[in-house]
Structure 1
Amino acid sequence: MRFALVAVGVLVTAAIITHSLQRYGLSTLAVEREAIRGWLAGDGLYAYRSPMNEAGAALPPAPALLVAPLTLLPLPVAGWLLALTGLAALALSALVIAGPVARRHGRRRGPFVLAAVTLALLAEPVRAAIGLGRPELMIFALLAADLLGLRRAARLRDRSLAALLRARRSPRVALATRRSPADRPRAARIVHAFRNTLPSRYSGDLSESSKRSRREVDTSGGGTLRRIWANGSWAGAGTGLAVTFSATALLFVVYLLITRQRRAALTALATAAVVTLGMLVVAPDETLTWYGTTMWELARPAPVSDLDNQSLAGMMARLYGFPAPPVLVWFAFGILLVAVGLIRARSAHTEGDEVAAFTLVGLTAAVAGPVTTAAESLWMLPAVLVLADAGLRRRLSVRLPRSTRRTGTVYLTAAAVGYLILIATPAWSLRWNVPALALILLVNVLPWRQGAPTLPTARPAPHRRAAIPLPRGR
């Protein structure tokens, strides 16, 4: 039975990939392939224009260097290789994003992740990314890898905090915790209090336990690499690589900074700087041309007012009847959407739902960016998952009031409608800007889940009955 299910899954996946390649014809990859061939022949990377629609390559130098070996292969073979790479990236992303949902609902992670990958393959963003030969699935996987790293780093911090809580014995700890400033985060207050007030004997015990845990990690195989993988100190490298692939990924760096995840933000900036400097050494002319002029040519692949552009800029350009939107009006509404998205993402991070936080940042980047095609709206898929999970939590909980359970029904209905929009995107929905309106709505109403347990206090205050139970003075 398992062999039959695997065989059916492989056949269905191959059929979906074949249909996507035939429907979209690898048009984007074909343009980029000819541009890279001209670059290798001595012409500029951005000098090529397609004779059919005058479209030019809009690929940064770093991914262009990665795609360069595919120019030696026929276009269908190169398309299949990119499709398989994108499928592996999609599976990695589903494992990171959908795996904890399965574990939380008591389901096996493997079948749940495979079902999520299958449902994602049927969606228009994944089919467009595969059929056009675009790198959006790889960018999505890089950001999901950083999400995994941040999750591991947070887990390590929770364990360290639990060790500090178990080790305290002095009443000064509780006193320092109660006198901490109220505006500091709770976990940071407790850690700061314990670090400053623990007696020396407990600090020694903690240092010995940390050394022992490090020795256990080192002797279990892998050494330094295993320790780096376990503690998530590499978080931010994926975002840095994503920045060199797409400039809209810079919004994730801003999110890391405003949520005080400074180590990941600095790692991302350092990675992006190292890759950019490396490309300056390898291809200086193309790198300067990209960051100087080509990146700002918004209508290079297609006009901003094209129906496929479902960003705020494309919607406003079509509403005004211009080739491009009014700049001041677009900036005003775009900055407002960015502020709302980042504020809500920070709130989701505070509540412990990093998946919802990353999803809100991705949706904000998609709607506020100048050009957002179907392949660039991949963050609607985890948004549908977050809606479904939040709806199930509220619907299945017997301790919540009836109004909250009705809200769960609304979330489940919104998840079903959103997935139907992703599966079938008819032409009338593009004319009526349905995907763009859905992106704007999700940025404003996407819920987040209570992901982090409440941190224990240093010493719970004893419950005392009031001497006078009634309010005094009245």
Structure 2
Amino acid sequence: MPVSQKRALRAAPTRSALVAVGGLVTLALVALFLSRYGLSTLAVTHAAVRDWLGGAELYAYREPVSGAGVALPPALAILLAPLALLPLKAAGWLLALAGVAALLLATVVLAGPVARRHGRRRTPLVLAAAALALLTEPVRAALGEGRPELLLFGLVVADLVALRRARAVRAGRVRRTPCWLAERPGPLLDRLRQGWADGTWAGIGTGLAAAFAVTPLFFLAGLMVLRRRRAAVTALTTAVTVTLAGLLFAPRETVTWFGDTLWELNRTDPLTTPGNQALAGVLARLYGCPAPPVLVWLSFGAVLLAAGLFRARSALGAGDEVAAFTVIGLAAAAFGPMSTPAELIWLLPALLILADTGRPVRRGVAAAGYALLVVPVPVLLGWNVYAFALILLTGALPWRTAPAPPAPPQRVAIPVPRGG
């Protein structure tokens, strides 16, 4: 037996043991997060959807103690309706495990190219990055409160894969077709295979996320600014289709959502709560008012959003799709009226970009930023640390220049003797 095969056989039990230990530690952390945060957001959603399935109005429910109401579009309410048939803890576990899976897949997309660029093995780096991300406050809050932010994050990140494939097609590089499509002939599978290879499905993830939440709408607009018009049209078509499906199955709730509930900015919490790290929350606390001055908020927010979209376009022009999407996510979180720690998930790829740029100062900033995302939250919320991080990174996040594709080899004609 070759030496390499013997080493692989010896390493297999070790890898299996590490995977088992990692899985148990992940389950323990999820249980800790669920206990610490108490599924506060999912509890409101769970009760509201249950009342809705019983014949009450979806947006009429109010939590007895805090008075918080449900703030999710009808399409997402329909998607989460099966969870309302389960006990709250069971629904929280299912949503948390789905969020962990989405986080792991997103880490593969974001950190995988970093490992390849530095000549490292992809699996250890991806698992390490996912483990570090699991300890941060945005992930802890999303899992513990029972929020779908990680799933929305995964949907948007999925479009990065399609954009990379489309760029590879334009550059003339050949992409390998997945074996599960290549081994099954058929007209439909042929179209799926071609669509997977050339990235024509770009925009579906963003469209689904935009139909399920408000913040991903900024990514839909960003696709237009980034001149990815085909992906933008696909995203818009997907969002409209899912919204119309929601109108078909829940017409009253859809009309109420777009006509009234969507504009209740303080429906879940007051804008002045320390957990609101958006620009609107900072201004409201600064002025000591229940809501920020509208003109001041919109003026600063519009400048911040325009700067983010402009810098995202420059990052995409340099070949860094991850930085482009990250800047849009940071600007959207800063501009939105309510951005809780669970909605600051785009700070994680921003730290990855800072650590990957290769400069010691930026790596130090990334390490310090990661430490701030892990430490206890109340002190940071009182100092608006997350809000300032959003604003600073929107205007100063660097991006990585894609290496120029290698020049095709030139064929040299070798003269041969003429005649016989």
Q: TM-score, normalised by structure 2?
A: 0.90
Q: Which residue in the other structure is 1:349 paired with?
A: 316
Question: Aligned partners of 1:352, 1:5: CA distance in 2, in Å?
Answer: 36
1:176-196 CA deviation, whole Å, 9 max, x = no partner?
Answer: xxxxxxxxxxxxxxxxxxxxx
Alignment deviations for residues 77-109 of structure 1 (CA, whole Å, 9 cap, x no partner): 111100100011001100111110011111111
Partner amino acid, structure 2, of 1:121: L
| CA distance in structure 2 between the aligned counterparts of 1:147 and 1:24, rounded to whole angstroms | 31
1:369 Cα offset (Å): 0.4
In the other structure, the counterpart of 1:58 is 71
| Contact residue 217 and residue 227 of structure 1 kept, 8 A | no
Q: Deviations over 1:97-131 (max 9, x none)?
A: 11100111111111111111100100000010000
Of residues 342, 355, 362, the one that matches 1:411 is: 362
Q: Distance in 2 between matches of 1:219 and 1:88?
A: 26
Q: Which residue of 1 aligns with 2:288?
A: 321
Q: 111, 130, 152: which is aligned to 1:139? A: 152
Residues 221-264 of structure 1, C-alpha deviations (whole Å, 9 max, x = no match): 44221221111100001110111111121111221112211100
Of 111, 117, 137, 1:124 maps to 137
Structure 1 position 438 matched with structure 2 position 389:
yes
What amino acid sits opposite 1:389 in the alignment? D
1:115 and 1:428 map into 2 onto residues whose CA distance is 27
| 2:90 equivalent in structure 1 | 77
Q: Does 1:8 align with 2:8?
A: no
Deviates more, 1:5-14 or 1:322-331: 5-14
Change (3 A) 1:219 1:87: closer
Question: In the alignment, does 2:379 pair up with 1:428?
Answer: yes
> In terms of Rg, which structure is larger?
1
Q: In the alignment, what sits opposite 2:350? A: 383
Aligned counterpart, 2:49? 36
RMSD of the alignment, in Å? 1.9
1:26 aligns with 2:39: yes
Partner of 1:237: 204
Question: What runs of 5+ residues in structure 2 fail to find an aligned partner?
Answer: 1-13, 411-420
Identity over aligned pairs, percent: 57
Give me the whole-angstrom Cα distance separating, in 1, the residues matched to 2:406 and 2:256. 51
Classify 1:452/1:64 alpha carbon distance in 2 versus 1 (closer, same or farther; 3 Å). farther
Please give the alpha-carbon distance, in whole angstroms, between the structure 1 residues aligned to 2:27 and 2:63: 29
Q: CA deviation at 1:3?
A: 2.4
Q: 1:138 and 1:153 mapped to 2: Cα distance?
A: 24
Tell me which residue corresponds to 1:464. Answer: none
The answer on whether the counterparts of 1:126 and 1:137 sit within 8 Å (CA) in structure 2 is yes
Instruction: Tell me by how many angstroms 1:338 deviates.
Output: 0.3
Question: Structure 2 CA distance, aligned partners of 1:217 and 1:325?
Answer: 53
Shift of 1:427: 1.9
Give, in angstroms, the shift of residue 342 of structure 1.
0.5
Partners of 1:154 and 1:16 in 2: CA distance: 38
Secondary structure of residue in 2 paired with 1:46: helix
Mapped partners of 1:356, 1:413: distance in 2 = 19
Counterpart for residue 113 of structure 1: 126
* Deviation for aligned residue 1:4: 2.3
1:152 aligns with 2:165: yes
Cα pair distance change 1:157/1:28, threshold 3 Å: same
Classify 1:155/1:303 alpha carbon distance in 2 versus 1 (closer, same or farther; 3 Å): same
Separation (CA, whole Å) in 2 of partners of 1:69 and 1:255:
33
Residue identity in the other structure for 1:267: T
* Residue identity opposite 1:355 in structure 2: V
In structure 1, what is the Cα distance between the partners aligned to 2:407 and 2:225?
A: 25
Distance 1:409 1:19 in 2: 35
Is the Cα contact below 8 Å between 2:207 and 2:235 reproduced in 1? yes
After superposition, the Cα gap between the structure-2 partners of 1:231 and 1:327, relative to the gap in structure 1 and judged at 3 Å, is same
SS in 2 for 1:248: coil
1:256 maps to which of 215, 223, 232: 223
1:86 aligns with 2:53: no
Per-residue deviation at 1:219? 6.0
Q: CA deviation at 1:272?
A: 0.5
CA offset at residue 455 of structure 1?
8.5
Q: Does 1:338 find its partner at 2:305?
A: yes
Match of 2:399 in 1: 448
The 1-side partners of 2:181 and 2:120 are apart by 33
Structure 1 unaligned segments of length 5 or more: list them: 163-212, 393-407, 460-474
The question of whether the paired residues in 2 share the 8 Å contact of 1:236 and 1:265 is answered with yes
TM-score between both structures, scaled by the size of structure 1: 0.80
SS of 2:36's partner is helix
Q: Which secondary structure does the structure 1 equivalent of 2:151 belong to?
A: helix
Partner of 2:256: 289
* SS of alignment partner, residue 102 of structure 1: helix
Distance apart, 1:42 and its partner CA: 1.0
Question: Does the 8 A contact of 1:217 with 1:226 survive in 2?
Answer: no
Q: Distance in 1 between matches of 2:145 and 2:238?
A: 28
